[in-house]
Homo-oligomer: A and B are copies of this chain.
Amino acid sequence: MIIDCHGHFTTVPTSLREYRKMQVATCEAGQTSDFAPPPDFSDDELRERLENAQLGLMKERGIDLTLFSPIAGLMGHHQGNEALSRHWSRICNDLVHRVSNLYPDRFAPVCQLPQSPGIPPQNCIEELERCVSELGFVGCNLNPDPSGGHWTDPPLTDRWWYPLFEKLAELEVPAMIHVSGSCNPNFHHTGAHYLNGDTTAFMQFLLSDLFRDFPTLKFVIPHGGGAVPYHWGRYRGLAQDLNRPPLAELLMENVFFDTCVYHQPGIDLLTEVIPAENILFGSEMVGAVRSVDPETGHYFDDTRRYVEALTGLSEVDRKKIYEGNARRVYPQLDKRLREQEKITTPA
């Protein structure tokens, strides 16, 4: 089985993006509560959106299941206020939940959190619990910079985040570290802000004893870990110079990287320096890069090709990257799959 740990519902009906624009404009104009309800979509409309995109590509590429979350770039935690963030998060999470009900064996739902800059992360617990305990979500996306490129909240390792981490640990739900759009003109979202967020979070973890406080907490750092695996020697050296424990001991039970690196040499490096136990297959499809690589004739984001082409990878390790690690890092996914297996293969 091949599980893609990183997919967003980027192909939502256009009216949802228009609704969001209107909603933000309304909020910025002074309406701070009682926001209008979202547009309605038929099941057929959603199916069409998915079958012509994510589902079609999954079939082509042999991907069985995608951990599916709302559009990262549209989480927009920096827009509006906390109430708007909560309202919008519910809409987005409900939509992803609906998709996972339409295709329960193809999509497992992952939620966004109603973060807002300067607002304590514990205020996200209610929506997290709703998603996980009531709706069967298996993971969440956690924005390390709700300000959208101004980095005004404390580092992820600050006690500011601890109440949320306690809940994540209790629910056995990992978080993918994922920034949203950037309102800082210095940072292009997918070309700079995303990768910077990944790199920044890893270094925060390196400096802290967070995983001594939360030994079971798990984070997936997407986009192949930002700059981290490419600079793995730098990080091993920094840990040593700063009298931190070796990385293996410090964080490799808790920090994982996906394979969203869009060329063969990048995946070669990732799998050379990071243990197979810490790599989860992912493609962020349909996402950051949507076109065909003229050098290969294949989609840039067809990351399965790169993983398949790894000659030095054992079949045991490939299976970990494709399935085993995801089921270990996302215990609620494993439960969901076991239940589905029970249903589809009755005794």
A205 to chain B: closest CB distance in Å?
10
Residues of B close to A11: CB separation below 8 A: none
- A150 to B187: give the CA distance in the assembly, Å: 12
With A240-B291, A269-B265 known as contacts, the answer to whether A185 contacts B154 (CB < 8 A) is: yes
Q: Contact at B200–A192, with CB atoms within 8 Å?
A: yes
User: Is residue A339 within 8 Å, beta carbon to beta carbon, of the partner chain?
Assistant: no
Q: Contact at A151–B150, with CB atoms within 8 Å?
A: yes
User: Is residue A238 within 8 Å, beta carbon to beta carbon, of the partner chain?
Assistant: yes
User: Is residue A203 within 8 Å, beta carbon to beta carbon, of the partner chain?
Assistant: yes
A167-175, A212-220, A225-233, A314-322: which one contacts chain B? A225-233
Q: Contact at B289–A262, with CB atoms within 8 Å?
A: no
User: Interface centre among A158, A229, A230, A266, by most B CB within 10 Å?
Assistant: A230
Which of these, B158, B196, B227, B266, contacts A232 with CB under 8 Å?
A: B266
Interface 1/0 per residue, A256-277 and B, CB below 8 Å: 0000011111101100110000
With A145-B186, A191-B234 known as contacts, the answer to whether A272 contacts B262 (CB < 8 A) is: no
- Please, which residue of chain B has its CB at the minimum distance from the CB of A226? B227
Which of these, B186, B241, B261, contacts A233 with CB under 8 Å?
A: B261
User: Is residue A95 within 8 Å, beta carbon to beta carbon, of the partner chain?
Assistant: no
User: Is residue A290 within 8 Å, beta carbon to beta carbon, of the partner chain?
Assistant: yes
Q: Contact at A289–B238, with CB atoms within 8 Å?
A: yes
Q: Contact at B237–A293, with CB atoms within 8 Å?
A: yes
- A230 to B188: give the CA distance in the assembly, Å: 17
Q: Contact at B227–A300, with CB atoms within 8 Å?
A: no
Sorting the interface of chain A by its residue count into under 10, 10 to 19, 20 to 34 or 35 or more gives 35 or more
Residues of B close to A192: CB separation below 8 A: 196, 199-200, 202-204
Number of copies: 2
A74 to chain B: closest CB distance in Å?
18
- A233 to B264: give the CA distance in the assembly, Å: 8
CB under 8 Å from chain B, chain A span 85-114: none
A238 to chain B: closest CB distance in Å?
5
User: Is residue A125 within 8 Å, beta carbon to beta carbon, of the partner chain?
Assistant: no
Residues of B close to A204: CB separation below 8 A: 186, 188, 192
Q: Contact at B227–A230, with CB atoms within 8 Å?
A: yes
User: Is residue A224 within 8 Å, beta carbon to beta carbon, of the partner chain?
Assistant: yes
Which of these, B145, B187, B261, B290, contacts A200 with CB under 8 Å?
A: B187
- Please, which residue of chain B has its CB at the minimum distance from the CB of A191? B203
- A196 to B194: give the CA distance in the assembly, Å: 10
CB under 8 Å from chain B, chain A span 263-308: 263-266, 268-269, 272-273, 288-291, 293-295, 300-301
Some 11 contacts from A to B, beta carbons below 8 A apart, are A149-B151, A155-B185, A192-B196, A192-B202, A196-B199, A199-B227, A226-B227, A232-B266, A236-B293, A236-B295, A241-B290
Q: A155-B186, A190-B238, A240-B294 known; 15 other A-B pairs, CB under 8 Å? A: A145-B186, A149-B151, A150-B150, A151-B184, A154-B186, A188-B204, A192-B203, A196-B199, A231-B261, A233-B261, A237-B290, A241-B289, A241-B290, A241-B291, A268-B269
